[in-house]
Structure 1
């Protein structure tokens, strides 16, 4: 029976035993690692999307999304500490729930990483175009947005996606010091934003606080989209093997970093709302317009053409737009520069995660093994990287950031729900297995994570939910038509991929501050 095809956990754990990492990270280092991995894309890019759905109540949305991330992260940590090898949730599921579900999780992670990278590329494009406009250079609208927003294609997003693809193939390394500087740039930029906006807060801008209710285009729907702003927290989980006293320090690092980021996000959201308001844009009949829709784009143009200030919900560079609106034109430009500098590294990390999931699945025989070929000179998985780059580029060229983030979230939520389920199953199936970190109150935390992930998924827009279903159906066709008959486990070939000689030594990804270097056992895949 296909559900019985599991990759032996003992064989996987042999990797960790032979390549164990030095335990050196404490609670403080883990917290900083989590902050560096989380803060960035979502808060820079999705603030306008959240405001269009929830209005001022997007502050509640940040709390909801952060809570779901916290309980999911605690489950993730148990498996990450037990199975600290490449493959992330895909590997965990393979060891616990079998090949079919592992395939589905890996397939969903491909959706998360590739589409997520496209979303960041489009978000970067918004800040790039806004920065040029502030400097008196008007980038053609037809080449700045996709068809749904009145353009032809998003040329800047295409450019950054192709550039990152090239860097990943060549394997050019950035130093950890430079990566740490990027984290500092993000934190300083957002701190300046809070400092400048709080003195001009207007309490009237917070009313009505919940203009659209709690549905798909309301508070919970905004939380489902904002979930993207927290992706990256599992960097703390995957560093469990390097952690001193992981049972104590991993939850401190996880909860500490998520709590810090949530509070920080709330401060930024309060500053944006209080400074210029966050009223959703509506049509003539008073109906809320869907983020990323042609109707919203047309209404935003009409508002600006009428001589009014562009609403927060219309901006593609929300934080820079707020600062310029309240009189800080040049500092708004600096906010744009901060996003311009920092966001490409997020594109790079997401594309790297995508290629590594592809690589491990190909090494297991579930995808053509040709995809796992390593470039003889650069020592990078160049074929799968090029393929990933093409997919990311096409999505970034034609789709708006909000829709891309929702599509990515659908895959992420499915994968995290499977991880929480795997923790529960493994507790019953193998209770005596050594667990360097145990999820506290697992009978409560794991079901909360599963329910939370399913709940947010149900509040995604209909198209985003259908994307996961259609993507999953395509995945099943590939599995039963190709992968099942070629699976190494199905053919009785048991191997530990991370010990193979032809594994890529580096794909040129800068490690996150305090994080294991790319290619190490504890990397975030």
Structure 2
């Protein structure tokens, strides 16, 4: 096996030619505003809503400096992407840029890393959204079943931690263990499903399946909404 094949690169001209030959199969429906909002959606992710409270609790005032440092890093990242996009104007994003600059094996690694990143981050955000949703229902006096708001693996792990005599366990671990203990059973197995998280992931998957036009419309709306919420918190605070 020729090891050079793992690090072979494609020139900008060849990869641009491949993009031109295959470009007729996809319609370009994203404009400058849509792409800008997609970038803002990626930079101002849902993490600021799902984990900022815990980060502020443990980090204190230093969290404000963290936002400054991350903002500087985001600027340099955006400049790198802008430079690559202007040089290699074909689809593929980081995979294509890595193929041209570093080689095939690195591009393959980056491609799979991106797939895993998007999959895992989506699950984390869906679980966080589920917690907010059930808390909102409680505010309206609706008690959502606990065994329909937690995953089996999470509850089972917490249950084992309690069984093994873990001391000074956090409150959420103790609660998850109690949920596992009280969950209904089917054929001897506990029924534990994070239903809200599963439904929101299913809905978004169906939206992406419909097409990019529908996805961009929802994305633009959500970006305006979350930027408005952040500005409202800053101004009111």
TM-score, normalised to structure 1, is 0.33
In the alignment, structure 1 residue 105 sits paired with structure 2 residue 145: no
Which fold has the larger relative contact order, with Cα–Cα distance below 8 Å and residues 6 or more apart in sequence? 1
User: Contact conserved, 2:7 with 2:103, CA < 8 A, in 1?
Assistant: yes
User: Contact conserved, 2:34 with 2:216, CA < 8 A, in 1?
Assistant: no
Instruction: Give a deviation string over 1:205-242, Cα, whole Å, max 9, x none.
Output: xxxxxxxxxxxxxxxxxxxxxxxxxxxxxxxxxxxxxx
| Alignment match, 2:5 | 2
**1:29-44 residue pairs with structure 2 within 5 A?**
34-44=39-49
Task: Give the structure with the higher percent helix.
Answer: 2
Distance 1:172 1:68 in 2: 29
| Alignment match, 1:57 | 62
In the alignment, structure 1 residue 161 sits paired with structure 2 residue 213: no
In the alignment, structure 1 residue 71 sits paired with structure 2 residue 80: no
| Alignment match, 1:265 | none
Distance 1:81 1:30 in 2: 14
Distance 1:104 1:35 in 2: 26
Question: Residue 102 of structure 1: CA displacement?
Answer: 1.1
Distance 2:217 2:202 in 1: 25
Question: Residue 170 of structure 1: CA displacement?
Answer: 4.6
| Residues paired across the two proteins, number | 193
Distance 1:33 1:155 in 2: 28
SS of the aligned residue for 1:10 comes to helix
User: Contact conserved, 2:95 with 2:110, CA < 8 A, in 1?
Assistant: yes
Question: Residue 6 of structure 1: CA displacement?
Answer: 2.1
Q: Residue 234 of structure 2: which of 166, 176, 194 is its match?
A: 194
CA RMSD in angstroms, aligned pairs only: 3.1
Question: Residue 91 of structure 1: CA displacement?
Answer: 1.2
**1:10-409 residue pairs with structure 2 within 5 A?**
10-15=13-18, 25=32, 34-145=39-150, 146-147=154-155, 148=158, 149=173, 150=176, 151=179, 152-171=192-211, 173-174=213-214, 176=216, 179-196=219-236, 198=237
Question: Residue 9 of structure 1: CA displacement?
Answer: 2.8
Distance 1:31 1:87 in 2: 18
SS of the aligned residue for 2:127 comes to helix
Structure 1 residues 157 and 185: CA distance shift in structure 2, 3 A: same
Structure 1 residues 179 and 168: CA distance shift in structure 2, 3 A: closer
SS of the aligned residue for 1:174 comes to helix
Question: Residue 15 of structure 1: CA displacement?
Answer: 4.8
Note the residue ranges of structure 1 that are not aligned, 5 or more in a row.
199-525
Instruction: Give a deviation string over 1:184-208, Cα, whole Å, max 9, x none.
Output: 2222222332343x2xxxxxxxxxx
Distance 2:120 2:54 in 1: 17
Q: Bigger shift: 39-48 or 140-149?
A: 140-149
Distance 2:86 2:39 in 1: 16
User: Contact conserved, 2:207 with 2:215, CA < 8 A, in 1?
Assistant: no
Distance 1:85 1:30 in 2: 14
TM-score, normalised to structure 2, is 0.68
User: Contact conserved, 2:208 with 2:215, CA < 8 A, in 1?
Assistant: no
Instruction: Give a deviation string over 1:488-520, Cα, whole Å, max 9, x none.
Output: xxxxxxxxxxxxxxxxxxxxxxxxxxxxxxxxx
Instruction: Give a deviation string over 1:32-63, Cα, whole Å, max 9, x none.
Output: 66435433412111202322441231111112
Structure 1 residues 98 and 36: CA distance shift in structure 2, 3 A: closer
